[in-house]
Amino acid sequence: MTQHVKKLSLPSKPRDFGFFVDGKSVPSGDREVFERSSPGHGVPVSRIPKCTAQDLDRAVAAARQAFDDRRWSGLNGADRAAVLLKAAELIRQRQEEIAYWETLENGKPISQARAEVGGCIGMFEYASGLARSLHGDSFNNLGDSMFGIVTREPVGVVGIITPWNFPFLILCERVPYVLASGCTIVAKPSEVTSATTIMLAEILSEAGLPDGVMNVVTGSGSSIGQALIEHMDVDMLSFTGSTAVGRHCVKAAAGNFKKLGLELGGKNPQIVFADADLEDAADGVAFGIAFNTGQCCVSGSRLIVERSVADKFEKMVAAKLEKIIVGDPLDEATQIGAITTDAQNTTIMSYIDKGRDEGARLITGGATVDMGGGQYIAPTLFGDVTSEMSIARDEIFGPVLVVIPFDTVDEAITIANDTVYGLAASVWTKNIDKALMVTRRVQAGRFWVNTTLSGGPELPLGGFKQSGWGREAGKYGVEEYTQLKSVHIEIGKRSHWVE
């Protein structure tokens, strides 16, 4: 592990952000304000309003009105696509600014933040095509007197609740697809990373999105988030966050039976066979756990490795982890930055203690890193781990990898599936039979063969088991935000029931 000093500078004073309703930014006024400090430095960088229940009602009413009067869903797909394409162009123009604020509030390295914003541009561009190609079905085989069509209609007002680990990326895996479907939005970002969500609302407005189609409320999960999931005028909720709050959403959605999309936790396996390219696999495994300091729902946090190469491979991974550049998020050279919240820092360190207490062998890392401010944890590897240990079962959401050896393909699959989660999985092997067998039998919504953490706008993401409901992105992502209507059309004279 190497340490670096920062290059970009911090803002001289915290920036004030307003929330966004009906096409306008609303300043905090006399509302309480949440001040966010950069997790990499401990310096205040932004201030956001704590929205009230009335603010939420206004935002939902604006989204309702914009949906009901069809100012967005009534446009043709080409017009909706034009707005999404213009938004992509404006994001490109503001890429540096968005990346900077993402880094300041989240603590991720600036180079990574830039790449993520680049990925978001692609989401908007891809979804613009979907706005034009979304279609239903027809049934011309119902006999001469009947024609059937199936149409897709937008669900309505969609609430989007996002977490702090990828504030802009997770938002952009949803917003352009929701807009492509014709729905309207009330988004609530995590209270610690709200800046870039507010920026997206401004960008969409500038791109020509009609007022009221995209609204943003800010504040805590327990107050404004809870009110959003319970709101009787919200037709669908897309929630990304912890499994505990996801469960809560299921209960709250019962009020008006709102449709739910849930992307929750993961404890994702990385299965490495002895016949893999072990150099590649070691690099991929290190990337899979350390990227975004392991604060990814799809982090590869369980290394399930064939016993015959386990010792050797463990050392290869440890060597990679020790070379990762942990540093100031504003430094161009940094590969992993700060842990995003104090609470998350405490959680990760408590799991490292648990690992030691449970009898796992600490191979590397296991400690905080002093950068003179902010909170940093060295990439950590535990050997001699059994599937019963909490470090093997719980989502730690930090740079902590556990090694579990196996002897047979069946055993590898059993260990991989021995979790309540089913979000993602990777397999590393040069044997096509093993790769396919594992891909078929491991329960995960996203799968990687000889790679990890790849993604893009085309392929959907989402979980099996307790990792969630529904899929985001791809054509499937747009379809999630639609509902089907079947239309039966009688042709010619009706044959009468009452003569």
Residues that bind ligand TXE (CB under 6 A): 161-165, 188, 190-191, 220-222, 225-226, 229, 240-242, 245, 248, 263-265, 297, 344, 347, 395, 397
Instruction: Tell me if residue 120 is catalytic.
Output: no
CB of residue 337 to ligand TXE, shortest distance in Å: 17
Instruction: Tell me if residue 263 is catalytic.
Output: yes
Which of 263, 314, 395, 480 is catalytic? The answer is: 263
- Of residues 38 and 165, the one with the C-beta less far from ligand TXE: 165
Alpha helices in 327-371 (DSSP H): 342-357
- Of residues 253 and 371, the one with the C-beta less far from ligand TXE: 253
- Of residues 28 and 240, the one with the C-beta less far from ligand TXE: 240
- Of residues 281 and 423, the one with the C-beta less far from ligand TXE: 423
- Of residues 345 and 429, the one with the C-beta less far from ligand TXE: 345
In the bound state, the residue with its beta carbon closest to ligand TXE is 221
CB of residue 161 to ligand TXE, shortest distance in Å: 5
- Give the pair of three-digit tokens for residue 20: 């966004």
Interatomic CA distance for residues 484 and 459, integer angstroms = 22
Contacts with 257 (C-beta within 8 Å, 6 or more apart), sequence order: none
CB of residue 52 to ligand TXE, shortest distance in Å: 16
Using DSSP, how many helices (H) and how many strands (E) does the chain show?
Answer: 16, 21
CB of residue 257 to ligand TXE, shortest distance in Å: 17
Instruction: Please state, in angstroms and as integers, the Cα–Cα distance from residue 81 to each residue in 178, 244, 464, following that order.
Output: 12, 36, 31
- Of residues 125 and 191, the one with the C-beta less far from ligand TXE: 191
CB of residue 494 to ligand TXE, shortest distance in Å: 51
Q: What is the number of other CB atoms lying within 10 angstroms of the CB of residue 417?
A: 17
Which of these, 83, 227, 88, 87, lies nearest to 161 by C-alpha position? 227
CB of residue 179 to ligand TXE, shortest distance in Å: 20
- Of residues 190 and 215, the one with the C-beta less far from ligand TXE: 190
CB of residue 477 to ligand TXE, shortest distance in Å: 16
DSSP string, 131-194: HHH---EEE--S-TTEEEEEEEEE--EEEEE--SSSHHHHHHTTHHHHHHHT-EEEEE--TTS-
Which of 51, 120, 183, 297 is catalytic? The answer is: 297
Please check whether residue 428 is in contact with residue 305, taking contact to mean a CB–CB distance below 8 angstroms.
no
CB of residue 211 to ligand TXE, shortest distance in Å: 24
Burial class (CB in 10 A: 0-12, 13-18, 19+), 461: buried
Task: Give 98's DSSP letter.
Answer: H
Give the CA radius of gyration of the chain. Answer: 24
Q: Can you tell me whether residue 446 is helix, strand or coil?
A: strand
259-263, strands of its sheet edge to edge: 24-26, 19-21, 214-216, 184-188, 157-161, 236-240, 259-263, 468-469
Interatomic CA distance for residues 305 and 273, integer angstroms = 6
* Virtual torsion, Cα 98, 104, 107, 113, nearest 10 deg: 20
- Of residues 82 and 115, the one with the C-beta less far from ligand TXE: 115
Alpha carbons within 13 angstroms on the beta-carbon side of residue 275 total: 9
Which of these, 262, 240, 160, 180, lies nearest to 457 by C-alpha position? 180
Q: Can you tell me whether residue 2 is helix, strand or coil?
A: strand
Return the active site residues. Answer: 263, 297
